[in-house]
Amino acid sequence: MSETMSQRRRSGAPDRSELPSYLVSDPRRRRGPSTRELAQGLCCFSIGLGLTEVACGGAIARWLGMPRSAAIIQAYGVREILQGVGILGASDPTPWISARVAGDALDIVTVLPGLEGHNPRKDNVLIALVALAGVTAVDVICARSLSDAPLAPSEKVRRDYRRRSGFRRGAEAMRGAARDFKPPPDIIGPEAMRPWVLTNA
């Protein structure tokens, strides 16, 4: 065991390499554009929902038929805002999105009791649960896409493909070198169906 690792073990700090990838922030992750946009969208959603929960916690609790939960909803609103800000500020938002998944689970556990007893607003609770399930699915997809993203190569393994043309001469010199090839009519379509200008030029 290396000196650093044994020091870390002694200090009780977890070794980052032993944590699941969805809990670790790694700026080298090469996120795809769609995943990046999805994370940004969830960031905006988180802040928006958080502000709404803080401002309208009481109204939301009444709509759910759970008026005693107003303070909890407002606290969850603060959590949402913090998560949104975390996603916004992180170079790699993976652990923050994973935190959203945990938050979703907490939300569902909080709302579920609304289905018990004689709550007259059970329909609203069901709507909220369906919405929460949808948001959870999106959060899970985003967290998985982020944690599965490939790492950018270090400078040491950066390979140079600028000379990989596959042609003996320059690419420009090879343009049209296979014009002698006659495309079979059964592959490119019968003469009568080909563009008029080309067949009649």
Instruction: Say if residues 50 and 123 touch (Cβ distance below 8 Å).
Output: no
Q: Which is nearer to another protein, 1 or 178 (CB)?
A: 178
Considering the rule CB under 8 A, would residue 187 count as an interface residue with another protein? yes
Question: Interface residues for another protein in 42-101 (CB under 8 A)?
Answer: none
Question: At its nearest, how many Å lie between another protein and the CB of residue 27?
Answer: 16
Considering the rule CB under 8 A, would residue 181 count as an interface residue with another protein? yes
Considering the rule CB under 8 A, would residue 186 count as an interface residue with another protein? yes
Considering the rule CB under 8 A, would residue 190 count as an interface residue with another protein? no
Residue 4 CA to chain centroid, in angstroms?
Answer: 33
Question: At its nearest, how many Å lie between another protein and the CB of residue 151?
Answer: 7
| Site map (CB under 8 A) of another protein, residues 127-166, x = contact | ----------xx--xx--x--x-xx-x---xxxxxxxxxx
Helical segments of 64-151, H only: 70-89, 94-111, 122-148
Considering the rule CB under 8 A, would residue 21 count as an interface residue with another protein? no
The closest alpha carbon to 79, from 42, 31, 47, belongs to 47
CA gap 32, 192 in Å, rounded: 44
Considering the rule CB under 8 A, would residue 188 count as an interface residue with another protein? yes
Tokens of 172: 């420009």
Question: At its nearest, how many Å lie between another protein and the CB of residue 80?
Answer: 19
Instruction: Say if residues 98 and 145 touch (Cβ distance below 8 Å).
Output: no
Considering the rule CB under 8 A, would residue 35 count as an interface residue with another protein? yes
DSSP string, 18-76: GS-GGG---TTB---HHHHHHHHHHHHHHHHHHHHHHHHHHHHHHHTT-GGGHHHHHHH
Question: Interface residues for another protein in 96-115 (CB under 8 A)?
Answer: none
DSSP letter at 191? Answer: G
Q: Which is nearer to another protein, 113 or 150 (CB)?
A: 150
Instruction: Say if residues 77 and 50 touch (Cβ distance below 8 Å).
Output: yes
What number of chain residues touch another protein (CB under 8 A)? 49
Residues interacting with another protein, by CB under 8 A?
A: 30, 32-38, 40-41, 137-138, 141-142, 145, 148, 150-151, 153, 157-168, 171-172, 174-179, 181, 183-184, 186-189, 194-195, 198
